Structure 1
């Protein structure tokens, strides 16, 4: 049995949007410790981003409470594409793309959920074996078209049109829940708020095929909005990915540490496994000492460690500290690329050049007069060292494998100069 009330914990965290049968689920949890629940993701891309992470964080909470999480990788449904949240038809991917994406998403999930009390299934295993007549006879006859048209994800598409392919997606997802309920003893599905119609369609199908007493529950998570009303999950550079090759651990860490005071407590509740007491203490610090950004630092540490492990967090903090202090000489080329990926950049050739000329040629300084003034005043740093000598020559081959020259102007205004 779970040691605490998982549903009350989720409510405190603001993580429940809708439940199909709260009373029935509470009763089930009270009398059983074998709840299995699933969340699905289609392999329409080769990485999840932090917006996708939200329902999987809920799944992880159930795992930590002693329940059995199941991840469904939609090798079958991913070949079609969920119409949810889209105004136009999804571009279908090749079978090879879907397979490659499946591998990468599976690896990400194993990293997040470990190997204990956890399993991954792929709906291509059962959907791929079904022929058209089986689909229509065994399942299609249980779905009323008028009910399907009323589902939010379909209704929102009717004005612009929706193909039969995407229209049928909700039937396939319902079959998934039915299959997992019958053959894997999965009693609950969780998903984003846009999945409510698909989840309830699955529960209806289970009850029609297995009887109304069959245990099947659904739970959705609220749409997450930032305090300014915009959708959560994007940075200035686009989506924040879980794949370290797409979003480095340093960039990932910086995304979280730069969150608004108005949002940080909500994100601590959603994205960390800190106790209620720890989060309330951080909320108090945010209110009384916001300039210390204690909550943001803790948020960044916890989420980066969860997604990228201790090593990823260690590297992110090391790069952050080096750039903050200006002590960048010990950073590797790869770490420099992580830390300054969004910094202003310039190009220079391999020849040694007088510092004043170098600053003007790379457009770091607008004029030789300004360059001389900043050098003399000690505002210019080359590869981590302050340079006040107007005769100093910048040698592009002297650091960072000859690939970069790092110019810092003032406290933290870096320029990454690429050596051609």
Structure 2
């Protein structure tokens, strides 16, 4: 009988890590090249900025630096990117509502942007690219804890090739957020609870959904320690729980800081305001009108819009959201229990975000970080029919939505 040694386990882990990074780099290189070329062409046909109209996309139509900025960066200077770059440059308080954006990503942009001599947009883009590659590699390693390499490859391919998979390449928080979540999960599965708590804390400081990772990690913790607790008692949980506490403590620290800026509202007489204090700032609600309510409230707004003033953006969001919701629910019954907890909690949070004027704005991007859906889809993808159907549908939606984003016709 073969004997498994620590050395062989370490060698196997090293091989898996090397394989994951090679696959991540190849997948990222091909996908990002396609995304850049597509964006450059679309933005040349539908320019938004003067710089886009004045510099042609083919090389060498301008000095290399100017041309690269035109082809790579300017087609991405949309929507929330302006907020993150603005916070990195000027700090919080320069625009009403900017405290709705959590601090880790703008902080990283500010540090790297100053190092690059004030090139904050370039810094934001570089951080997103590095985090995207690391995310693909880390997700690959997480999947291989339960499945084979082929499933890990399909999972990462389906994730980044999904209709809003390009959000991981944008100067948005999605790549940093999901990297932190997956890293927290991987560390927890390996029993490294202080590292899991720190990664979860990074997720909580990146965006509101980051703190959701605490609940499924508590389940993983119980699964690892339930036998030990029976023999040693609850004291066996003190150290791992202390490690996991870093995640909610990070969120609490941000809320306290936000309160010093005068942007927090909580009343003990109205417990419901705790949700707003944790997830939605008062200024954010004032600027965008976003609130939290029951899922059917937002659905009601959407139906009213479809009856009175139907528009393609809402129809597209609603259609893709319903597909992703069905996949989330179907996968929750088949994946690990902790994955199901994460998926259902995040789906409920996504559906509870209410925009009366623009129902379901950004909903596809919010569903894209429900990564267990892509794991189960990758398992179904062992069937060639499922594989090619998924890739074809994703390619059609990706082409449409990416072009709409560049033309300022789709808010991701």
Higher helix share: 2
TM-score exceeds 0.5: no
TM value normalised by structure 2: 0.25
TM value normalised by structure 1: 0.25
- Give the greater-gyration-radius structure (CA): 1
Higher strand share: 1
